[in-house]
Amino acid sequence: MNALSDTVFFEIKDGVALLRIDNPPVNGLGNTVRSGLFRGLMLAISDASIKAVIIAGTGKMFCGGADIRQFNTPAASEKPLSRDIQQLIRSANKPVIAAIHGTALGGGLELALACHYRVAQEAAQLGLPEVQLGLIPGGGGTQRLPRLIGAKAALDLIVQGRSIPASKAQAIGLVDATCPDDVIKAATIFALQKTSNADPLPDLHEKKPKHEGIDFSAIRNGLDERARNYTAQKAAVDCIEIACTTDLDTGLTAERDVFLELMNGSESRALRHMFFAERLAPKFESISASKPASITSVAVLGAGTMGSGIAMAFANADIPVFLIEREQAALDRGWNLIQKNYGVTVEKGKLDQSEMDRRTNRIRRSLHLEDAASADLVIEAVFEDLEIKKDLFRRLDVICKPGAILATNTSRLNINEIAAVTKRPQDVIGLHFFSPANVMRLLEVVRGNATSDNVIGRCMTMAQNIGKIPVLVGVCEGFVGNRMLTGYWREAWFLLEEGTLPQQIDTAMKRFGMAMGPLTMADMAGLDINWATRKRLAAMWPEKLRYPHVADRICEAGRLGQKTGAGYYRYEAGNRTPLPDPAAQAIIEAASREAGLERRIIEDDEIVERCVLALINEGARIVEEGIARRASDIDVIYVHGYGFPAWRGGPMHYAETLGLPTVLKQIQALQTRHGSHWQPAPLLQRLVEQGKSSFA
C-alpha cells in the first residue's frame, strides 16, 4: 500500500483502486484524510487503466465523520474541503464506491452519499447524528439524502440523529448492496459488475426528492422547543425543505450557511463541550497494575426510594441484587414500588412482560444483613443519619467478604467518618445515585481519604456497565452537586424574602432552561433534609452572615414539600403539580417583615443572575479545592443530575460563555449590595487577573 497522506493509503487490485482511510480512533475526516482522498481520487481518475475506485476505512469503521478534535481550528478549514472531494467524485468518469463496515456516521455517511454507490457490511450502522451536537449535516447530507431516499425517510434520520443498520439502509435505498463480512471484496465484485455494463453513473443532481404530502410547517411546529437541540432540529427540517424546492447546488450552499451559523452558535458549542465532558468524566487510570476485578453481585441495604431504584438499576444491567431491609413492611413497600415502576414501563410498551419478570427475578429480598456476606459490592441506602450508618458499617465490616466494596449512598454525610468505623477504610466509598436511581444517569463517585484506587476504578467501570455516567468527586459537605445547591437555594430564599414568590422564581429559572425551578425541586426532594442540615450546621453559621429564615419558617409550618401536600406550593392529593398557595405567600411575607426588608419588585433577570452566579462561584471553589477533578465534571453533574440546560453547557461552561471578567464583576457587584456570602471565589479572581478565559 502506498501512502497518499499520513492517514490515507492507496492500492490497485484487479484494475480497481482502493483508498483506505486510517485515522484512529474513528477515521475522522481531518485535513490529512481529506488531502489523501483528494490525491487518490485525482490519481485514479487520471489513470485510464483504473476502472473503478473504492473508498474504505481501516480498523473499527468506515468513517465516524468530521474530526471533531479539529473543530474551530485552522486545520478544519484547510483545503481540500469535503465538498472539493465530493465535486471530484461527481466529475469522475468511473464508479466510486463506498465500502462501509462498522459505522458510517455524519461526514462519513455524507462522503458515502457523494459516492456513486454504497456497499455495506450487514453489521454496519449508518446515520447522521449531527443534531445531537447542535449541528446539521454540513457536507451535503440534508440535500443528497432526501434525493436518494425521499424527504420523509431523510427527515426521520436527520432530525432525530438516529442510526440504522445496513439491512434497513438497503430497504430504504440508502445502500445498494450488503454483504456478511469482507466488504472490500464485495465492493470489488460490485464495482466490476458496474464497469462491465454500460449503465450511466447515478447523479443525484438530476434527482428531485420525493416529498408529496409532507407538511414541513407542521413538522417544525411538532418539535419540542425545550429539547436540548431544538435550534438544530428546526434547521434540519428547513434544509430538507430547501432540498425539495431547489437544485442541488443551491441547496448545498444554503446548507453550508446554516451549518456555519450553528457551528458558531452557543448551542452547538455547549453541546460539543458536553459531548467531550461526558466522555472525559468517567476516565480513571488506576495505578494498580492488575486489572480490577469486576462486580457480579450486589447487595443494597434499605428498600426505600433510593434502595429500590438502585436495585432496579443493577437488575436492568443483568446483575443479581440482594435487597435487604430491617422490617417486612418496608421491604414490601420497596418491592411494590419496583413492581409498579416496571409495570408502568410494560404498560407503555417499552418493556415486555417476560423481560420485566426476568429483571424482578434478579432482585432477591431479605431481612438479614448476613445476606450481604458474599456480595462484591454493598450499597447502603438507609436513613440519612450518621449514627445509623456507622452502626451498619461496623456490622458490614464483620459480615462482608474480604475485598468487597462497601458503599454509601449518603447525599451529604462525611464518608471518612463512616469509613473510620471499619477496619477496611480503603474499601469504603460513596456512590451517590440520583433519584429516581433507575432512570438518572449521573453517579457521583465519592472518594474518601483512604479509598483505594482499585476500588475507585472498579466503581467507575461498574457505573458505566450499568449505563451511568460516573463523576469522581471528593468529600465535603454535599460533595459537588448538593454543595452547589446550597448557594443556589440560598439565593432563591433571599429572593423570596426580598419580594418574589416561588412561582416567579421557578418560572424565571425554567425560562433560563432549567428542567425545574429551585423551589419546585426543593418541594420534590423534601424540605426536611435541608432543614436538618441547616440545624446541624447552625453552630458554624457566621454571626454577621444573613440567614434565610424563610426556609425554616416554611418547615416549621409543617410544610415539608410534596410528601406533606404543601411546601413552597400546595399539592392536591395524588397530583404533583405545584399550585401557588396564599398560605405560603403569607409565611414568605411574614419572613420579609422579620428580616426587616421592604418587599420590592424583582426582575426575572436578577433571579437568573443571582441563582446561576451562586452555582458558578461555588463551582469555582470546588475546582480550586480539587473536590471536582475538572470544571467540565461539574457541568456533567449539573446537566445530568440537576436539570441544567445542556444547550448552555453546564454552569462552568456557561460562565466561560459569559466571560470570566463579566462573571467576576457581577459577583463583586452582588457582594457590594448583598454582603459577604458573595465573596468571589479566589480561583475566579486569579483566572481573571491572569487573563484566562476558561477554567480548564
Q: Which is nearer to ligand NAI, 92 or 516 (CB)?
A: 516
Stretch that binds ligand NAI, among 113-121, 278-286, 381-389, 589-597 (CB under 6 A): 381-389
* Least Å from the CB of residue 226 to ligand NAI: 23
* Least Å from the CB of residue 380 to ligand NAI: 8
Stretch that binds ligand NAI, among 48-56, 279-287, 326-334, 463-471 (CB under 6 A): 326-334
Q: Which is nearer to ligand NAI, 263 or 381 (CB)?
A: 381
> Across the beta sheet with 405-408, what order do the strands follow?
363-366, 321-324, 298-301, 377-380, 405-408, 428-433, 442-447, 469-474
> For residue 456, what are the CA distances in angstroms to 260, 391, 400, 450?
42, 23, 18, 11
Q: Closest Cα to residue 192, out of 117, 124, 92, 122?
A: 117
Stretch that binds ligand NAI, among 28-36, 71-79, 324-332, 504-512 (CB under 6 A): 324-332
* Segment 261 to 280, residues that bind ligand NAI, using CB under 6 A: none
d(CA 11, CA 282): 40
Buried b (16+ CB within 10 A) or exposed e, 390-410: bebbeebbebbeeebbbbbbb
Quote the cell numbers at residue 646: 445542556
Q: What is the number of residues in the chain? A: 696
SS3 of 238, please?
Answer: helix
Place of cell 473499527: 60
Q: Closest Cα to residue 409, out of 536, 282, 307?
A: 307
Q: Which is nearer to ligand NAI, 96 or 300 (CB)?
A: 300
SS3 of 127, please?
Answer: strand
Work out whether the CA dihedral 185, 189, 191, 192 comes out positive or negative.
positive
Q: Using alpha carbons only, what angle is made at residue 157 by residues 123 and 267, rounded to the nearest 5 degrees?
A: 115
Query: Where are any strands of DSSP class E within 167-209?
Result: 177-179
* Least Å from the CB of residue 321 to ligand NAI: 14
Task: Number of residues interacting with ligand NAI: please give it, by CB under 6 A.
Answer: 26
Q: Which is nearer to ligand NAI, 304 or 343 (CB)?
A: 304
| Contact call for residues 426 and 455 (beta carbons, < 8 A) | yes
- Residues with Cβ < 8 Å from 474, sequence gap 6 or more? 446, 447, 625, 626, 627, 628
Q: Using alpha carbons only, what angle is made at residue 437 by residues 317 and 408, rounded to the nearest 5 degrees?
A: 95
The neighbouring-strand residues paired with 20 are 9, 56
| Contact call for residues 693 and 659 (beta carbons, < 8 A) | yes
Among 378, 392, 472, 688, binds ligand NAI (CB under 6 A): 392
d(CA 519, CA 496): 10
* Least Å from the CB of residue 461 to ligand NAI: 21
Place of cell 491572569: 690
Among 66, 248, 381, 400, binds ligand NAI (CB under 6 A): 381
* Least Å from the CB of residue 401 to ligand NAI: 19
Q: Exposed (0-12), middle (13-18) or buried (19+): which is 541, by Cβ within 10 Å? A: exposed
d(CA 261, CA 268): 10
* Least Å from the CB of residue 325 to ligand NAI: 5
Stretch that binds ligand NAI, among 69-77, 336-344, 384-392, 503-511 (CB under 6 A): 384-392
Among 128, 136, 525, 587, binds ligand NAI (CB under 6 A): 525
Q: Which is nearer to ligand NAI, 136 or 521 (CB)?
A: 521
Q: Which is nearer to ligand NAI, 92 or 524 (CB)?
A: 524
Residue 440 interacting with ligand NAI (CB under 6 A): no
Q: Which is nearer to ligand NAI, 184 or 369 (CB)?
A: 369
Buried b (16+ CB within 10 A) or exposed e, 142-155: bbbbbbbbbbbbbb
> For residue 146, what are the CA distances in angstroms to 218, 239, 250, 661?
18, 10, 15, 46
Q: Which is nearer to ligand NAI, 407 or 554 (CB)?
A: 407
What residues are annotated to the active site? 110, 130
Residue 383 interacting with ligand NAI (CB under 6 A): yes
* Least Å from the CB of residue 372 to ligand NAI: 10
Categorise residue 675: left if φ over 0, alpha if ψ from -120 to 50, beta otherwise: left
d(CA 169, CA 688): 52
Site string for ligand NAI, 280-319 (x = CB under 6 A): ---------------------xxxxxxx------------
Among 325, 444, 497, 552, binds ligand NAI (CB under 6 A): 325
Among 56, 128, 136, 382, binds ligand NAI (CB under 6 A): 382
Place of cell 432526501: 146
Q: Which is nearer to ligand NAI, 208 or 326 (CB)?
A: 326
DSSP-derived secondary structure letter, 294: P
Residue 520 interacting with ligand NAI (CB under 6 A): no
* Segment 396 to 435, residues that bind ligand NAI, using CB under 6 A: 409-411, 432-435
* Least Å from the CB of residue 560 to ligand NAI: 13
Q: Which residue is nearest to ligand NAI (CB)?
A: 304
Stretch that binds ligand NAI, among 76-84, 292-300, 379-387, 452-460 (CB under 6 A): 379-387
* Least Å from the CB of residue 524 to ligand NAI: 9
DSSP-derived secondary structure letter, 1: -
* Least Å from the CB of residue 432 to ligand NAI: 6
Q: Which is nearer to ligand NAI, 355 or 371 (CB)?
A: 371
Site string for ligand NAI, 111-140 (x = CB under 6 A): ------------------------------
Stretch that binds ligand NAI, among 36-44, 60-68, 322-330, 562-570 (CB under 6 A): 322-330
Q: Which is nearer to ligand NAI, 432 or 490 (CB)?
A: 432
Q: Which is nearer to ligand NAI, 140 or 474 (CB)?
A: 474
Among 83, 152, 326, 546, binds ligand NAI (CB under 6 A): 326
* Segment 328 to 367, residues that bind ligand NAI, using CB under 6 A: 330
Stretch that binds ligand NAI, among 15-23, 348-356, 383-391, 439-447 (CB under 6 A): 383-391
* Least Å from the CB of residue 327 to ligand NAI: 6
* Least Å from the CB of residue 580 to ligand NAI: 24
> For residue 621, what are the CA distances in angstroms to 450, 527, 536, 614?
23, 26, 22, 11
| Footprint of ligand NAI (CB under 6 A) | 301-307, 324-327, 330, 381-384, 388, 392, 409-411, 432-435, 525
